[in-house]
Amino acid sequence: DTAVSQTPKYLVTQMGNDKSIKCEQNLGHDTMYWYKQDSKKFLKIMFSYNNKELIINETVPNRFSPKSPDKAHLNLHINSLELGDSAVYFCASSQDRGSNQPQHFGDGTRLSIL
C-alpha cells in the first residue's frame, strides 16, 4: 500500500551509461515531481508534471528527460551519466500544483556513478 514508490532503490553504473528510474503513485494525485538531493543534502526540484503536462523544468542538463505516460507515473531517463550525477533522486506527488499542497515523497533512488 506504498503511496509513492520508486524503482530501483539503488543504482550503481558506469560513467557514460544510460539509465532510467521509475516512479508510481497510488494517491490519485494530479502533480508529480523529481528532486535531486546531493551530498550536501540540499533537496532541489528538477521537474514537475501536472496531469501528464510538464509545468516545471529547472536548469537541468538535457541528458535528463522525464516522461509521464499517465498521471500516476513519472519516469526519469538519464543519458550519458556523469560522475556529478551521483545523488539521491526523489519522486514526489501532490494533490495539485499549488504550493499549499503537502508533497508525498518516495524513499529515493541512490545513484552511484563509477
Partner 1 sequence: SQKIEQNSEALNIQEGKTATLTCNYTNYSPAYLQWYRQDPGRGPVFLLLIRENEKEKRKERLKVTFDTTLKQSLFHITASQPADSATYLCALDLYSGNTPLVFGKGTRLSVIA
Report whether 5 contacts 27 (CB < 8 A): no
Only one residue has cell 499517465, namely: 70
CB atoms closer than 10 angstroms to residue 32: 27
Selected from 67, 86, 95, 108, the binder of partner 1 by CB under 8 A is: 108
| Residue 56 within binding range of partner 1, rule CB under 8 A | yes
Selected from 22, 30, 45, 72, the binder of partner 1 by CB under 8 A is: 45
Name the residue among 1, 2, 12, 3 with its Cα closest to residue 109. Answer: 12
| Residue 55 within binding range of partner 1, rule CB under 8 A | yes
CB atoms closer than 10 angstroms to residue 15: 12
Q: What is the separation of C-alpha 40 from the centre of its chain, rounded to a whole number of angstroms?
A: 18
| Residue 106 within binding range of partner 1, rule CB under 8 A | yes
Selected from 22, 67, 77, 97, the binder of partner 1 by CB under 8 A is: 97
- Residue number with CB closer to partner 1 (66 or 106): 106
Which residues contribute to the site for partner 1 (CB under 8 A)?
4, 33, 40-45, 48, 55-56, 58, 90, 92, 97-100, 102-108
